[in-house]
């Protein structure tokens, strides 16, 4: 497993096993939000907040010049949306 600590807000990412079907990609992972983590009021509120966060991240990446149409990026969005659904559904 590979662990990354971003130099902002104490965010920690742990990547799963390498994805044999997609070189350079990983089979899921986990993230700790550090200073960005807040208490959750209800499952519905948490789901809405997570979905809004994902959409904000996509917009931020697009504005910063990241190719949000790249297949690997789309795969990441799908994985994040699935994780949100699995966590808060």
What is residue 73's predicted lDDT score, i.e. its pLDDT? Answer: 94
Joined together, the tokens standing for residue 18 give 């390498």
What is residue 74's predicted lDDT score, i.e. its pLDDT? Answer: 93
Mention every residue, 6+ apart, whose C-beta is less than 8 A from residue 39: none
Determine contact, residues 11/34, Cβ cutoff 8 Å.
yes
The structural domain count of the chain equals 2
Higher pLDDT: 28 or 58? It is: 58
The parent domain of residue 18 ranges over: 1-37
* 52 and 20 inside one domain: no
The mean pLDDT value for 1-29 works out to: 85
Q: What is the pLDDT of residues 29-67, one digit of tens each?
A: 888 887 777 776 677 888 898 999 999 999 888 878 899
* 67 and 25 inside one domain: no
What is residue 82's predicted lDDT score, i.e. its pLDDT? Answer: 92
């Amino acid at each position: 497993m590979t662990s990354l600590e971003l130099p902002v807000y104490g965010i920690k990412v742990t990547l799963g096993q390498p994805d044999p079907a997609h070189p350079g990609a990983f089979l899921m992972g986990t993230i700790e939000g550090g200073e960005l983590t807040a208490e959750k009021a209800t499952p519905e509120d948490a789901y809405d907040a997570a979905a809004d966060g994902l959409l904000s991240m996509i917009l931020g990446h697009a504005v910063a010049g990241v190719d949000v149409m790249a297949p690997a990026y789309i795969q990441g969005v799908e994985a994040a949306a699935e994780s949100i659904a699995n966590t808060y559904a």
